[in-house]
Amino acid sequence: MENVFLIVGLGNPGADYAKTRHNAGFLLVEKLAAQWKTDWANERKFNARIAKAERSGKRILLCEPQTFMNLSGETVGALKDFYQLQLGQLLVMVDDADLPFGEIRLRPGGSSGGHHGLESIEQHLGSREFARLRIGIGRKDSAREITDYVLGKFEKSENELLEKVLERAAGQIDCWLEAGLQKAMSQFNGVIGPKNEEKKK
């Protein structure tokens, strides 16, 4: 369907994982749903929570896969097939421990970077050529084993910056829908900080 766009936030379902760093994609897609004043519904045939909206003359499906992170591709692949979507109509939002906390980066494709949710989606779609918005969560040290960190909740001291990050990322998604990927990348990619947090809203 030419006018349908699928925006997927990745995370793990359930109260134990709510508001953890690994659920940054969920936090962002929930922010979009709240801003766009749309409600969530459970779609069992896709194993997902779906919220529907219209933006910039486009029909939008906001999605939270309920498969757990490592199987996210099952939901995304099923939705892509059902709505007959092209890869250009898909955007996936994920946490990224290799980006500093406070940075966002939209790209038209690329490597999974070891992110199991992206790996699952790439496997089910047979392609890496779909847009992904990475939300930096940083890491406490250079160790590769960071499971406890990414599955931990954001600290209270991080909440103010987290809200600015989600606000900026939501604006980037609006720009993507209205003006396309390249403009959204050039205007919004980067670090959110005291000097540029109000930049180009």
Annotated active-site residue in 22, 115, 116, 124: 22
Nearest partner of 196 among 165, 173, 174, judged by Cα: 165
Number of other residues whose CB lies within 10 A of the CB of residue 44? 7
Instruction: For strands 131-136 and 103-107, give the pairing.
Output: antiparallel
Neighbour order of strands in the sheet with 58-65 = 40-43, 48-55, 58-65, 4-9, 90-96, 131-136, 103-107, 190-191
Angstrom distances, CA of residue 133 to CA of 73, 105, 156, 160: 16, 6, 24, 20
CA distances from 9 to 31, 50, 80, 135, 140 (A): 10, 11, 15, 11, 24
Q: E strand or H helix at 164, and its extent? A: helix 159-179
- Give catalytic status of residue 22 as yes or no: yes
Catalytic center residues: 22
